[in-house]
Amino acid sequence: MSRATVEVPEQVTQLDKLVRVDLSEREVTIETIPQEYRDRFIAGKGLGAALLLDEVEAGTDPLSPENNLYFLFGPLTGFAPGTSRYAAVTKSPLTGAFVDSYSGGHFPTMVRYALPNVLAIAIEGRADEPVTLRITEGEITLEDATDLWGLDTKETARQFDGKQTKTACIGPAGENQVKFATISSDEGTHHAGRGGVGAVMGSKNLKAVVATGDSPPTAPNVQELKVKHTQRLGTDDEVSWARNGGTQLIVDWTQEVGALPSHNWSRGMIEDVDDLNIDAFEAGHVDTDSCFGCPVACGHVVDFEESDVGGAFPNANVDWGPEYETIGMMGANTDITNVTEVTELANLADTLGMDTISLGNVLSWLMEVTEKGLVDADLRWGDAEAAAEVIRKISHREGIGDDLAEGTARAAECLCDGHPDAREAAVQIKGLELPAYEPRASFSMALAYATSDRGACHQRAFPIGSDALGGERDPFDTDGHASVVIEEQNETALTYSMVSCSFTAYNYERVCEWLNALAYDVAVDDLHVVGERAWNMTRLFNVREEFDRDDDALPPRFTEPLERGGPADGNAISEAEFETMLEEYYDQRGWTSDGKPTRETLERLDIAPLAPDSLVT
């Protein structure tokens, strides 16, 4: 097996190294990331976009050896609380667009402990046989993983995980290249979930990345900051919602404003929210858990009695409670409202390695088209036992699961010959299924979804938080939404370029404070530009892959009136209303009418030299 030795510096003042792993040649090399990339993007999202645009050719098949998969780490990982995270960046097999998917836990910190000056790991080519990438302090090795192939995410992690060793791996879904397969870490409790990054890892025959680290990196002037922000995250009201319930609280919030999707996006509420809200989950709540060094501890440890569906699930008692998105899409949107069943379905998806947002949409889509007689499947609304069987088939691409593994947009074509009702029931943007916020209850979310770089996403901008949930704007008109979406997209792009957690409120000022303690010498104004640069780089990648204004479109379902929507009841978003917001958005972004960044915008952001000549117009 190929081997490379990494020299560890005495002081970590420059995080500037990239580990390049060529699986086809079984070679591991270390190189310095170009200064122009680090100056413009720092790390994470922006750096990943620049590398992907530079190193992966236009039109590359996402599941071919020519597509790269990047693991990226933030400059604060190993130093600051709330930053034990990594980004998985690649060309998405689900959408064909740029995708950056993030995960926390302990694995990222173990990588930083082992490789304190590394910002990125580039995975290239395809191994002839399954392999594991083993990272220890000063050494990186490719090892045979034939015996691991076929194991689920938890079984795989248990082969390696200990106090100072953590694993990022794929399960059967990734091995079988399910287009929404995840990369799982910390024994199936954390996932780089969206866009099929696990399928890309599977296409490369890379079963796992295993990191062992026992030497925290050192740098002057950070200990006081670490204490300060640990105290802030453990006490401040700003993040109290995450400490005191986390995302499970959101079920009641969205129910109240008619933004909780149910019955495959036809309704905005469920009949009895008390069956599925945080109070319902409290019956099984036994503890909280956290990512490495984070006092917020927003994870829920649960222990439910065996559910009514009996032996349908692999574990009667599970150890990780579902987050809001999973509750919304695997629960409310499928009409499965038993908390134990939803928890066990989520555990099954985690164990097999699949994104619960896309998977929940696939299940609800299949329920609808089955009800309409377009597909002959044994799956009905609210049937958890049948849903479990479909999940297993998807992960192994068995029977109907083979087409469902392609996502709802392709399934509508393959299983229903493109029937208009099947297409309309596939609620997705750019091929990526929507998360659990009904946009007819917040028109700003429609704009955020449509303009998201990786397809429908609430983690690029969350404007519903300041209109329908916050009362700062009218959620049912078009005024002011574009500027809010842009501002949030830029700030989130900085957060993800830092690869820090969006729950921990590392705003521009706090990021600046940390970076200067690490000798980056930046100002707050510089960081505003970093986020905007990153967002425009991902747009450049998508434009190069032939995405345009037509792809920044709203699913047809949202042009129809919402049922059972509370204050949003009867709402629809007309094409004219949506186009008004989109035009304002493009204008404020400095993009052309078909959604391309202009030369003036690229030059203002100092990224024109990094853009392909054909895209600088």
223 assigned to some structural domain: no
Residue 310 banded pLDDT, cuts 50, 70, 90: very low
163 assigned to some structural domain: yes
| Among 407, 433, 459, residue at a domain's last position | 433
Q: What is the pLDDT of residue 11?
A: 45
Q: What is the pLDDT of residue 278?
A: 94
425 with 317, same domain: the answer is yes
203 with 289, same domain: the answer is no
422 with 451, same domain: the answer is no
| Among 418, 433, 448, residue at a domain's last position | 433
228 assigned to some structural domain: no
Average pLDDT, the chain: 94
pLDDT surpassing 70 at residue 529: yes
- Domain range for residue 384? 245-433
| CATH number, position 153 | 3.60.9.10
238 assigned to some structural domain: no
| CATH number, position 601 | 1.10.599.10
What does the pLDDT average to over 513-521?
A: 93
25 with 159, same domain: the answer is yes
What does the pLDDT average to over 554-560?
A: 97
427 with 443, same domain: the answer is no
192 with 262, same domain: the answer is no
| CATH number, position 414 | 1.10.569.10
pLDDT in tens, 352-384: 999 999 999 999 999 999 999 999 999 999 999
525 assigned to some structural domain: yes
User: What total number of domains does the chain contain?
Assistant: 3
* The length of the chain, given as a count of residues: 617
pLDDT surpassing 70 at residue 495: yes
pLDDT surpassing 70 at residue 109: yes
Residues whose CB falls within 8 Å of the CB of residue 271, separated by 6 or more in sequence, listed in order: none
pLDDT surpassing 90 at residue 14: no
Smallest CA-to-CA distance from 222 within 520, 521, 527, 516 is with: 516
Q: What is the pLDDT of residue 114?
A: 95
C-alpha to C-alpha distance for 251 and 337, rounded to whole angstroms: 12
Q: How many CA atoms lie within 13 A of 595 on its CB side?
A: 22
260 with 343, same domain: the answer is yes
Q: What is the pLDDT of residue 239?
A: 92
Q: Which two tokens stand for residue 301?
A: 């440890």
Q: What is the 3-state secondary structure (H, E, C) of 528-569?
A: HHHHHHHHHHHHHHHHHCCCCHHHCCCCHHHHCCCECCHHHC
90 with 49, same domain: the answer is yes
Residue 36 banded pLDDT, cuts 50, 70, 90: very high
201 with 265, same domain: the answer is no
pLDDT in tens, 252-291: 999 999 999 999 999 999 999 999 999 999 888 888 999 9
361 with 332, same domain: the answer is yes
Residue 318 banded pLDDT, cuts 50, 70, 90: low
| Among 433, 450, 471, residue at a domain's last position | 433
Give per-residue burial for 481-497: e unless 16+ CB within 10 Å, then b: bbebbbbbbbbbbbbbb
Q: What is the pLDDT of residue 220?
A: 82
pTM recorded for the entire structure: 0.96
367 assigned to some structural domain: yes
What does the pLDDT average to over 204-223?
A: 93
Secondary structure (DSSP) of 218-272: --TT-HHHHHHHHHHHHH-GGGHHHHTTGGGGHHHHHHHHT---BTTTTBS--S-
What does the pLDDT average to over 156-176?
A: 96
Coil, strand or helix: which one is 565? coil
More reliable by pLDDT, 318 or 205: 205
pLDDT surpassing 90 at residue 311: no
Residue 8 banded pLDDT, cuts 50, 70, 90: very low
Other Cβ atoms within 10 Å of 569 Cβ, number: 16
Q: What is the pLDDT of residue 307?
A: 44
Residue 165 banded pLDDT, cuts 50, 70, 90: very high
429 assigned to some structural domain: yes
198 with 294, same domain: the answer is no
Q: What is the pLDDT of residue 472?
A: 95
99 assigned to some structural domain: yes
pLDDT in tens, 132-161: 999 998 799 999 999 999 999 999 999 998
362 with 404, same domain: the answer is yes
What does the pLDDT average to over 401-412?
A: 98
